[in-house]
Chain A
């Protein structure tokens, strides 16, 4: 149980295009989903926290107009990287906290590798 999926697992795009990454909780409902970014040999850095039906809360230094987050349902959150540039190339990982049960636990997705050319 408690499986989180991400799609796509890997994406390569041209500079200036927008990329959408989906995060789904497959077998549980999640009121809160988190988006992280991980650069090579670095730790995961929280980008934003999204709650179903409300606006996401962004961490300091993360541009909300560049990284659009939508949490439309209790099982789906999307991250759209708008006008992507090479410096946005990174590993993006989402996580989800269940609505019931172990609400203090985050279950992580497998990550999405974004490469911007």
Chain B
């Protein structure tokens, strides 16, 4: 059974800092991995999707990497801004539907 773990559970950083969010999964037989953003009481916004054959994806200040063999992904956020404050969820798709981690709650302090 696929399990997804995100570390840390919460993170508070000053504005401008670069940061890394971590995601690990137990079953490396995945199709893809996605990073989502969720604002309080809101739905999910897809940030980046990495196919199993890819190593990384970039969008603006965001860079996501995938190491399938070790079951790990990282989301790198450059030059963080207060508007980046949200919960970031990692989800993997494999033989089962999307399995989500519990998320990392990020606060960027101005």
- Given contacts A105-B49, A111-B43, whether A42 and B102 have CB atoms under 8 Å apart is yes
A108 and B44 contacting across the interface, CB-CB below 8 Å: yes
Question: In the complex, how many residues of chain B place their beta carbon closer than 8 angstroms to a beta carbon of chain A?
Answer: 21
A113 and B101 contacting across the interface, CB-CB below 8 Å: no
Question: In the complex, how many residues of chain A place their beta carbon closer than 8 angstroms to a beta carbon of chain B?
Answer: 21
Mask of A98-117 contacts with B, CB within 8 angstroms, 1/0: 00000011111111010000
Count CB-based A-B contacts (< 8 Å).
44
Residues of A that sit less than 8 Å from B by CB: 6, 34, 41-46, 49, 91, 93, 95, 104-111, 113
Excluding A93-B44, A111-B43, 11 further A-B contacts by CB distance (< 8 Å) are A43-B100, A43-B102, A45-B100, A95-B44, A104-B32, A104-B93, A105-B49, A108-B43, A108-B46, A110-B43, A111-B42
